[in-house]
Structure 1
Amino acid sequence: MNTRIASAVAALFLACGPAAASQLQVFPFVEAVRYTHHNDDYTVRVRTPGGVWQDLYEYKVKVDLDNPSDASMVYFNFDGPVEVAVQKNNGRFSEVKIRPTGKGVKPVVRGRTAYFTLARPENLSVEFDDDHLHNLHLFTHAIRKDMPAPPPRAANELIGNGAPPDFTQPVVYFGPGVHDGEFNVRSNSTVYIDGSALLKRPLIINGVENVKVISDGLFDSVDMLAIKNSRHVLIDGPIFFNQPHGTMRCITSQDIEERSIRTIGAGKWSDGLGHFACERVTVADSFIRTSDDSVTLYNHRWDIWGNTRDIVVKDSTLWADVAHAVMIGIHGNTPTPAHPQAEVLERIRFSNIDILDHDEDDPEYEGAIGIMAGDDNLVRDVTFEDIRVDRIEEGKLFNLHIAYTPKYNTSPGRGIENVLLKNISFTGEGAPSASVMYGHDAQRKVRNVVIDNVTVGGRKLTAPEINVLDIGPFVEGVSFK
């Protein structure tokens, strides 16, 4: 362990000689978690090309509610190329795969160690012999030039409890160490979270505006960071793991950017990024592994009312150990005298997305991509473009239907209209069933769906096909390109 400590505490390493253009930033682990959070399945090191190897702390993270397992996670920041070495410490192996495979990261194996080079920051899963339950999650980011420097400390000093941040100031800094307490973020403030900071409670972002959260650090076992009734909020960079339920919720808020969110959750109902009646939201450059839906777009639920509009989700990786990568529209507001206005979800775009897995046991709700309009919701003007689906353990590629089940709904949805599925490729791996589209009745239909260059196992969809695509009743205007 001494070697790990010495190398980890070197928080910023600048290479010399031919690799001088590369910079590497690793973060000391917190002393309080030295034994409780470590997973010894792998030894992971990183260096600038030809430089000195630096050891990383391998965090233990829970995955897959159906089959609870301990996986691993490491993280660091860098600019320029870096080399990574992942040694498997337990048992032999035959092959190593790094997903998403479309990132083009190819390992070279020597003995029990896989070596590979990263040219740019990526969020990846390193898997030995196709083991998805004990894999290594590797999260990286560019080095932040504006992050405050941590206070100086002795070379052999590890970090304990962090100094409490001062939320009365316009700049709030979570320094190295463990932080617990009530974190009420004020308007017109910037929150910085050091890469050696570990938060045990969520930030509270409620009724505020003009807030930035810039994080290299960790949220450990935190139940739901919520943005509620707020405007102009940026969340950039946090890593969440072992949360008992979900990761983040956006509730009746506008002009929200969720960037570089990395999360691994295996708790019950552990949704990733949930959105309820929010408008003008962008999710980008994120890695979301969950044991419930990875990204959701809803309207009414609980005491929440309103519409969902102008949503962009792009350049991200979604992994649903349980449930769906994408779920849209199942919760809304059945009109009542107190709330007479039915709700709309519209102008939604998902692009450049890797879906690594989907597993759902309930046939009605299967779908890596799900639009299931319930509670008088109208879902319209939705685009899925450049989507790559690696595996479906059990479920469907897509599911577009008008939903009405007593478990979730008080009425069927009003309709699903104007949906584009373009450049979507599914390998065919796993045990998928046929994708579906169906309406509810003559007034509540699925209308105007374009299927443009959608492939399953390398074969292009050109019409309904047994075991591949079923089109049910109350569907009109489906076209294939």
Structure 2
Amino acid sequence: MKNMSLLLFLFCLWSAACDKPEVGAPVVPTTPTASGKLIVYPAPGDLSSVEHLAQSNDYKVEVRRNGDTDYQTIFVYKTDNYWVDTYFGSKPKPQTAASFSSFAFSETAVDIKITCNFPANKVTIRPLNFGINPVQNGNVISFTLSEPKKVSIEVNDRSNPLFLFAEAPDVAPIAATHYYGPGVHHIGLQKTIKSNETVYIAAGAVVEGSFLIPYNTQNVSIKGRGILSMGEWKHESTAVSWLGAHSAIKANGVSNLQMEGLIIANSCGWTIPIYNSDNLTFNNQFKNLKLVSWNGNSDGFWVNGRNHLIDDCFIFNNDDIFMSHGATNCKISNIVAWGGPWGRLYWLSEQTSTSNILFENINLIGKDGGVAVILVDEEKGTKIAMSNITFRNLRIEAHPKTSSYNTNKFLVLNSGYKGVSNWLFENLTIDDKNVDEGDLLGTANSPINGIKFKNFKLGGAKVNSLLDANMDKNEFATGITFE
């Protein structure tokens, strides 16, 4: 019996050793099933005191971990297209409303079920290159996400989209100088945030108002998973001073600013204008921000100063998505954007030189008008340089010409007093094709030189020349190449 027990003990040791991987051997990871983390945010409570923001009556959204049985309902917001243009006679964005919702997950796939409270005939989920193919059963749409994504769900047409922001879980701070918990908070215009202060807007919080970061401020953090909204104020002027006073988050000469996670809705003026007075704006980061606005002048981000990062953001607005008066060493990456008639994807304006700017993994899922997608203006003044600008993996799904003014050309470079050189467009895909896609117009004083297109597809066809691209140039634009 003792010998049998010893043999059994030795056999168990041998079996356990055989179950262990060899030292240095790869361990195959397992996909979590009915495990991992799914975070459903709290509802905000009574929204009756918040202008142009309500619970959506168009969509019900439910989520569950892949492998679970029961779904959880997440709160869906809705903002209506309330802007009326009384200035230039241009049309507002053609959408009538937009709904949006958010939740967080990690270490699991998630199943999403959307019930439309209206007849659903077809559905498109953008960006198209995400390859999300939903299953539709009557008015119910379902699909699965294996990683966080920001998507636009468009049922029947593009007039009433649902934006779904599936994000990684947040790490809330232990303490914040200005904390806003779930519920509605009215803070008024331009609440001042000083150096070394933190703002945290928790999931389920709706803060109606705006923030001001004064001149020469450092080390500010504005984070959270809640909403900053400005629907209380009407867009009443295009004057620079008025727009600055009615911007959602305005700063001037700020460094080491961290903004992350917020939804900014219904910006009255510009959304995040960051001025660069005295070259004091540097080392700022903007991550996982979601911007949803209707007003004209609702610029998304001002890219001014140096050494900035804008990553993993969603912008739906009606002016420039990215605006720059001069910047160096900045990266803009992993963006989903839908622009309006008033703006451009990127507008380079006057003031100071711009160099070493990288746009990478940009999905422009819509452009509802405007003069151009990318624009350098002809303006008089001190000669400046705009060099070493790269667009890599830029995908444009729609940029139709809507009028004689809203030509929506892809690229307009009017150098004027600006020296434009060494621009690279690599892996550029434009799904549609306009009769006129751009102008490269240099001057004797400020020529254009070194514009390279590498792997450029337009309307499904490879582009090998300016003729293929439906673009024109003059004698002061040289070194235009295609690979």
- In structure 2, C-alpha distance between the alignment counterparts of 1:453 and 1:370, rounded to whole Å: 21
Output aligned runs, 1:210-359, within 5 Å: 210-221=219-230, 223-252=247-276, 253-275=281-303, 277-299=304-326, 308-332=327-351, 343-359=352-368
2:56 aligned counterpart, secondary structure: coil
CA contact (8 A) 1:393 1:432 kept: no
Cα RMSD after superposing both structures? 2.3
- Post-superposition Cα deviations, 1:368-398, rounded to whole Å, max 9, x if no partner, equal 2223353444211111111111011224453
The one-letter code of the counterpart of 1:273 is F
- In structure 1, C-alpha distance between the alignment counterparts of 2:426 and 2:74, rounded to whole Å: 40
- Post-superposition Cα deviations, 1:199-257, rounded to whole Å, max 9, x if no partner, equal 11122222321122221010112632112211111100110112223211111111111
Comparing 221-230 with 262-271, greater Cα deviation is found at 221-230
Partner of 1:43: 60
Deviation at 1:72, TM superposition (A): 1.0
Partner of 2:34: 19
Matched, 1:422 2:426: yes
Mark the CA change 1:374 to 1:326 in structure 2 (over 3 Å): closer, same or farther: farther
The one-letter code of the counterpart of 2:140 is T
Mark the CA change 1:66 to 1:31 in structure 2 (over 3 Å): closer, same or farther: closer
Matched, 1:88 2:116: yes
Output aligned runs, 1:80-479, within 5 Å: 80-93=108-121, 95-129=122-156, 131-147=157-173, 171-181=177-187, 183-206=191-214, 207-221=216-230, 223-252=247-276, 253-275=281-303, 277-299=304-326, 308-332=327-351, 343-361=352-370, 366-372=371-377, 374-375=379-380, 376-394=383-401, 395-396=407-408, 398-402=410-414, 412-428=416-432, 431=434, 433-439=436-442, 441-465=443-467, 468-479=470-481
- In structure 1, C-alpha distance between the alignment counterparts of 2:77 and 2:176, rounded to whole Å: 32
Would you identify which runs of 4 or more consecutive aligned residues in structure 1 move more than 6 Å?
none
- In structure 2, C-alpha distance between the alignment counterparts of 1:353 and 1:176, rounded to whole Å: 32
Mark the CA change 1:467 to 1:382 in structure 2 (over 3 Å): closer, same or farther: closer
* Higher CA-based Rg: 2
CA contact (8 A) 2:400 2:408 kept: no
Aligned pair count reads 410
The one-letter code of the counterpart of 1:433 is D
CA contact (8 A) 2:44 2:184 kept: no
Mark the CA change 1:18 to 1:480 in structure 2 (over 3 Å): closer, same or farther: closer
Partner of 1:59: 77
Mark the CA change 1:68 to 1:134 in structure 2 (over 3 Å): closer, same or farther: closer
The one-letter code of the counterpart of 1:314 is S
Mark the CA change 1:170 to 1:264 in structure 2 (over 3 Å): closer, same or farther: closer
- In structure 2, C-alpha distance between the alignment counterparts of 1:184 and 1:133, rounded to whole Å: 37
Mark the CA change 1:34 to 1:98 in structure 2 (over 3 Å): closer, same or farther: farther
- In structure 2, C-alpha distance between the alignment counterparts of 1:346 and 1:18, rounded to whole Å: 47
Deviation at 1:147, TM superposition (A): 4.7
What are structure 2's unaligned runs of at least 5 residues? 1-31, 82-90, 232-246, 402-406
Deviation at 1:259, TM superposition (A): 0.8
CA contact (8 A) 2:80 2:98 kept: yes
The one-letter code of the counterpart of 2:54 is H
2:273 aligned counterpart, secondary structure: strand
- In structure 2, C-alpha distance between the alignment counterparts of 1:268 and 1:325, rounded to whole Å: 12
2:209 aligned counterpart, secondary structure: coil
Mark the CA change 1:22 to 1:215 in structure 2 (over 3 Å): closer, same or farther: closer
- In structure 2, C-alpha distance between the alignment counterparts of 1:31 and 1:360, rounded to whole Å: 36
- In structure 2, C-alpha distance between the alignment counterparts of 1:65 and 1:396, rounded to whole Å: 15
1:448 aligned counterpart, secondary structure: strand
- Post-superposition Cα deviations, 1:86-120, rounded to whole Å, max 9, x if no partner, equal 11111241x21110012222211112100011111
Deviation at 1:312, TM superposition (A): 1.0
TM-score normalized with structure 2 length? 0.79
Deviation at 1:315, TM superposition (A): 0.7
1:19 aligned counterpart, secondary structure: coil
Deviation at 1:445, TM superposition (A): 1.4
CA contact (8 A) 1:373 1:379 kept: no
Deviation at 1:323, TM superposition (A): 4.0
What are structure 1's unaligned runs of at least 5 residues? 1-16, 149-168, 300-307, 333-342, 404-411
The one-letter code of the counterpart of 1:291 is N
- Post-superposition Cα deviations, 1:23-66, rounded to whole Å, max 9, x if no partner, equal 22322123134996122111111122224222222211245824
CA contact (8 A) 2:230 2:248 kept: no
- In structure 1, C-alpha distance between the alignment counterparts of 2:336 and 2:317, rounded to whole Å: 11
- In structure 2, C-alpha distance between the alignment counterparts of 1:83 and 1:170, rounded to whole Å: 34
Mark the CA change 1:143 to 1:66 in structure 2 (over 3 Å): closer, same or farther: closer
